[in-house]
């Protein structure tokens, strides 16, 4: 796996599998520890406002200079004022896959759905009308109407793996590989869930166990538990064929087991966690590890600032927001605007 990617575990649930018959999304954002997420609110003239996260490099080099696909101002997880939410995990396509000449940037589509779409159906249509999308992602969608979907997008178009509604309950999960039957053959071999050495399979299988345990009782509180789960944490992250130093648990404590670090050559781990609750139009955010544990090694930089809890951010009246405004900082501080947008 290249450093150009975003590692994640995603879960979505809807209908009678939740306590309140709502649709919920949960995710962890895994990156090298010197690449951080921060919260923001985005307001554009005559378009829907949304709350989301953005990736940024804390080193002297920008994401683009470091070869990341995530671009400046791109929303990587988000929920808009109509209650449409998305989260995503990058797919590691086979190295022989070339970017299609007619490919639309993934960030262009997610920006469009956050600013214009009000339902899961609208968002699926926006993705599906593109013949190719780059880079490839596994995407979970949920909305205020109780709908939930798992789609995969990439060089070969869009596959709708699952599409559920308030009246048709469902649970979906995604990691960093294709799952749809038509697209599995385009995965990078190291990322396949038949490869028992990578962390895709360990996280996905653990997710299945937890999904069965909590089926019928899913809530924001349950998602907090799942995203803080440490099962498989004792597996050696140095054995991961996808990326040396990237761990195996959902709440990921990846490390190269070093007491020093080289900038831009860090292990990967969970730099933030997110829960999206469309029924209340809330974005629950946890900076760093949601479990709140302290770093074991010095190569896990910034993690000493982990909140160890999720804070819900909601929407202010439209006229209070004029443009894009940061709600948190890269080291986990909440800004003045962020404090005003905490839901109580």
Q: What is the CATH number of the domain that holds 68?
A: 3.60.60.10
Of 181, 92, 190, nearest to 136 (Cα)? 92
Q: What does the alpha-carbon distance between residue 68 and residue 257 come to, in Å, rounded to a whole number?
A: 25
Rg of the Cα trace of the chain?
18
Phi-psi region of 211 (alpha: psi -120 to 50; beta: other; left: phi over 0): alpha
Give the H/E segment covering residue 113. Answer: helix 106-116
23 lies in some domain: yes
Q: What does the alpha-carbon distance between residue 224 and residue 106 come to, in Å, rounded to a whole number?
A: 28
1 lies in some domain: no
| Block mean pLDDT (10 aa), the chain, length 344 | 69 98 98 95 92 94 82 94 97 83 94 98 98 95 98 95 96 97 93 93 97 98 98 95 94 92 82 98 98 95 97 81 89 96 92
12 close to 275: Cβ distance less than 8 angstroms: no
81 lies in some domain: yes
71 lies in some domain: yes
122 lies in some domain: yes
Give the H/E segment covering residue 24. Answer: strand 24-32
Q: How far is CA 173 from CA 244, 299, 326, 328, in A?
A: 24, 29, 29, 27
pLDDT of residue 2: 46
11 close to 26: Cβ distance less than 8 angstroms: yes
pLDDT of residue 320: 65
2 lies in some domain: no
pLDDT of residue 5: 59
214 lies in some domain: yes
Q: 220-227 and 199-214 helices cross at what angle (nearest 10)?
A: 150
Number of domains in the chain: 1
Which runs of E-coded beta strand occur in 43-129? 50-57, 77-80, 85-90, 104-105
Q: What does the alpha-carbon distance between residue 50 and residue 83 come to, in Å, rounded to a whole number?
A: 9
268 close to 246: Cβ distance less than 8 angstroms: yes
Q: Which residue's entry shows tokens 């966690």? A: 273
138 close to 88: Cβ distance less than 8 angstroms: yes
pLDDT of residue 3: 47
What lies within 8 Å, CB to CB, of 167 at 6+ separation is 15
3-state helix, strand, coil in the chain (%, to 5): 20, 30, 50
Structural domain containing residue 128: 7-340
79 lies in some domain: yes
């Amino acid at each position: 796996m290249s450093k150009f990617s975003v590692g994640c575990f995603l879960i979505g649930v809807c209908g009678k599998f939740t306590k309140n018959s709502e649709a919920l999304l949960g995710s962890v954002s895994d990156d090298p520890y010197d690449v951080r997420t921060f919260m923001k609110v985005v307001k554009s003239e005559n378009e829907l406002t949304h709350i989301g996260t953005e990736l940024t490099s804390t080193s002297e080099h920008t994401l683009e200079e470091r070869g990341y696909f995530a671009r400046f101002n791109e929303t990587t997880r988000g929920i808009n004022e109509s209650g449409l939410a998305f989260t995503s995990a990058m797919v590691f396509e086979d190295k022989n896959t070339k970017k299609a000449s007619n490919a639309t940037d993934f960030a262009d589509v997610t920006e469009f759905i956050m600013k214009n779409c009000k339902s899961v159906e609208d968002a699926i249509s926006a993705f599906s009308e593109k013949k190719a999308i780059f880079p490839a992602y596994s995407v979970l969608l949920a909305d205020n109407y109780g709908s939930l979907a798992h789609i995969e997008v990439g060089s070969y178009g869009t596959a709708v793996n699952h599409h559920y509604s308030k009246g048709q309950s469902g649970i979906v999960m995604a990691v960093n590989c294709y799952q749809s039957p038509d697209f599995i053959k385009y995965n990078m071999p190291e990322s396949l869930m038949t490869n028992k050495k990578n962390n895709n399979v360990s996280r996905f299988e653990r997710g299945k166990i937890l999904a069965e345990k909590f089926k019928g009782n899913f809530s924001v509180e349950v998602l907090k538990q799942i995203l803080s789960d440490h099962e498989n944490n004792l597996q050696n992250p140095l054995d991961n064929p996808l990326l040396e130093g990237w761990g195996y648990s959902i709440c990921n404590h990846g490390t190269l087991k070093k007491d020093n670090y080289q900038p831009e050559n860090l292990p990967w781990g969970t730099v933030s966690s997110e829960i999206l609750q469309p029924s209340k139009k809330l974005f629950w955010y946890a900076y760093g590890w949601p479990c709140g544990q302290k770093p074991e090694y010095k190569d896990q930089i910034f993690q000493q600032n982990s909140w160890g809890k999720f804070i819900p951010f909601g929407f202010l009246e439209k006229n209070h927001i004029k443009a894009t405004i940061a709600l948190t900082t890269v080291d986990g501080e909440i800004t003045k605007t962020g404090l005003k947008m905490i839901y109580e």
